Amino acid sequence: MKLKRAFYTRDVLIVANELLGKVLVKKDGRKLFSGRIVEVEAYDGRTDQAAHTYIGKTKRNEIMFNEGGYLYVYLSYGVHYCCNVVTGTKGIGTAVLIRALEPLEGVNMMIRNRFDKNKLVGKELKQLTNGPGKVCKSFGIGKNHSGVDLTKDKIYLENALLKKNEEIGVSKRIGITKSVHLPWRFFIKNNPYLSGY
């Protein structure tokens, strides 16, 4: 079942925790991509200097000021796209970065999107979507998808629960230089598809 608006319009840390285990889906014509969310990071521009919204509203970050339930996509270091789930109420500027997925459907298409070759050995499969840039490249998500309504459009999240034996881990976020003390990275412990840090 597709997640409804009420799921997203809550506190960013609550949503970040509960995104673990949910399934990201992208429909592109007859193509279907899906992956289970195993690692995320929360960003809150009200107090968090690492959030894009900390400096206030700009053309780049205006999607993050929507009410929860929209996709915010940005280009990181001019190299790769990263996708975020906007949370909370309109005007506050919070979102959750999707850091890693466990691939489910459309794996062969993900491989073609990411690599020149058409096949991967099992070990390499774990590195197909184990980072925020890898997620976007595998799914074919780019700047043109920023602003997509996750409750209506062809990119959305499906409800799913954590497995009985799975536990949530918490740590500091990765690859930032500001507000580094905040323990706002959430992940499924021991999942083989984590970003590896």
Q: What fold does the segment set 5-188 form as a domain?
A: 3-methyladenine DNA Glycosylase; Chain A (3.10.300)
Q: Could you give the C-alpha distances from 84 to 13, 73, 131, 190, in angstroms and in order? A: 13, 6, 13, 23
Q: Looking at beta carbons, which pairs linking 108-117 to residues 24 or more positions away fall under 8 Å? A: 109/31, 109/33, 110/33, 110/138, 110/139, 111/138, 113/137, 113/138, 113/139, 113/140, 114/138
* Pairing, β 94-105 against β 185-188: unpaired
Q: In this predicted model, which residue has the larger pLDDT, 116 or 132?
A: 132
pTM of the model: 0.94
Domain spans of the chain? 5-188
Q: Rounded mean pLDDT of the chain?
A: 92
Residue 119 pLDDT greater than 70, yes or no: no
How would residue 131 be classed by pLDDT, with cut points 50, 70 and 90?
A: very high
pLDDT at res. 123: 56
How would residue 129 be classed by pLDDT, with cut points 50, 70 and 90?
A: very high
